[in-house]
């Protein structure tokens, strides 16, 4: 399959590109900056999707939109709209000029607008931030495009993606647990900005890329459906911090403290978001951080040491 990956040189995009390449697909990777080392996965083209496509229209079977604003950027700003809405409009305009091309949009669980309870593909969408709202509107753009142009489409809502992907330079250091790893190396202290009891679904970037590729290759999925990409298990922020502290001590050889969480000991309501995804019919609250996430934290910690040094 010939696939255009818009955002294919970014954090998740580069891992998807590497996985698709390993599966024998022919790739065209579009991004705002030319990075020749990505040629190992496919042809690259410089395109800031905030602007309309210029030049010859590529011949591809599918367009994968991975170019939206992510959680490491300012979420409540005009840039959110530029990145998520204008970019989506331009990608769909290009897709419309490619005969028969299917479109896949990578969205976020934040369209649900909640931080507690159980969410599934059937849960109501009630965005509570401009970030989540702009993603939801972008999803609706994709649905409208597919309906009016009779195109195949697929929408994926991702959970909290963690770890070191195919391109280490694209790690989002402002997100948990990557931020904790940097704090541990720089300060020997991890600061939690909440009471630490909030539960989140964390999924590795490697597992995310594998799942996205499985869905791309599964023709039966391209029917306009929405799919949640998550691990199906939850860990608290404090459990993640504890794991980072343990891993850090083993790697840098000195103790790493965890600062007392704000609201510690109070009656503050704990937010527990659990995700039902794929064929899972139940969710689990892990008593400890799972082996995949721990391994991802080890990779992040080793990279953080190199970054700080």
What is the tens place of the pLDDT at every residue in 111-132?
Answer: 999 878 889 999 999 998 888 9
Averaged over 265-284, what is the pLDDT? 56
Q: Cα–Cα distance between 243 and 249 in angstroms, integer?
A: 10
User: Which among 25, 62, 21, 61 is positioned nearest to 41, based on CA atoms?
Assistant: 21
Q: Cα–Cα distance between 102 and 154 in angstroms, integer?
A: 8
Q: Of 113-117, 189-193, 298-302, give the range with the top mean pLDDT.
A: 298-302
Is residue 266 pLDDT above 50, yes or no? Answer: no
* Same domain as 210, residue 262: no
Q: Cα–Cα distance between 85 and 68 in angstroms, integer?
A: 8
* Same domain as 173, residue 72: no
In the numeric block, which tokens belong to residue 192?
A: 């939690």
Q: What is the DSSP letter of 85?
A: I
pLDDT at 195: 83
* Same domain as 167, residue 58: no
Residue 216: count of CB within 10 angstroms of its CB? 25
CATH for 253: 3.90.25.10
Q: In 3-state terms, what secondary structure has residue 114?
A: coil
Count of domains in the chain?
A: 2
CATH for 36: 3.40.50.720
* Same domain as 304, residue 169: yes
Using CA of residue 285, residue 287, residue 289, residue 290, what is the dihedral sign? negative
pLDDT at 18: 96
Q: What is the DSSP letter of 109?
A: G
Q: Residue 248: which domain range? A: 163-201+233-308
* Same domain as 182, residue 40: no
* Same domain as 71, residue 125: yes
* Same domain as 137, residue 62: yes
* Same domain as 109, residue 197: no
Is pTM, for the whole model, over 0.95?
no
* Same domain as 259, residue 183: yes
């Amino acid at each position: 399959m010939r696939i255009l990956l818009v955002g294919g040189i970014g954090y998740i995009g580069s891992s998807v590109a590497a996985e698709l390449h390993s599966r024998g697909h022919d790739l065209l990777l579009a991004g705002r900056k030319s990075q020749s080392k990505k040629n190992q996965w496919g042809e690259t083209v410089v395109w800031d999707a905030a602007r309309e496509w210029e030049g010859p229209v590529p011949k591809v079977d599918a367009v994968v939109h991975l170019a939206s604003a992510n959680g490491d950027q300012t979420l409540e700003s005009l840039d959110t709209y530029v990145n998520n809405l204008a970019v989506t409009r331009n990608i769909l305009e290009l897709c419309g000029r490619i005969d028969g091309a299917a479109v896949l949009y990578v969205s976020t669980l934040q369209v649900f607008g909640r931080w507690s309870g159980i969410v599934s593909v059937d849960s109501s969408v009630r965005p509570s931030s401009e970030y989540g709202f702009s993603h939801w509107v972008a999803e609706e753009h994709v649905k409208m495009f597919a309906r009016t142009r009779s195109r195949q489409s697929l929408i994926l809502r991702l959970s909290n993606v963690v770890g070191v992907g195919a391109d280490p330079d694209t790690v989002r250091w402002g997100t948990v647990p990557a931020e904790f790893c940097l704090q541990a190396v720089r300060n020997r202290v991890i600061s939690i900005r909440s009471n630490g009891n909030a539960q989140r679904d964390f999924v590795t970037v490697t597992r995310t890329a594998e799942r996205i590729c499985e869905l791309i290759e599964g023709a039966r999925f391209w029917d306009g459906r929405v799919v949640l990409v998550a691990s199906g298990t939850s860990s608290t922020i404090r459990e993640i911090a504890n794991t980072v502290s343990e891993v850090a001590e083993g790697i840098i050889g000195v103790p790493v403290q965890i600062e007392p969480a704000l609201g510690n000991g109070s009656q503050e309501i704990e937010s527990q978001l659990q995700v039902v995804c794929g064929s899972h019919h139940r969710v689990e609250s892990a008593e400890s951080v799972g082996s995949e996430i721990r391994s991802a934290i080890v990779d992040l910690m080793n990279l953080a040491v190199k970054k700080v040094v």
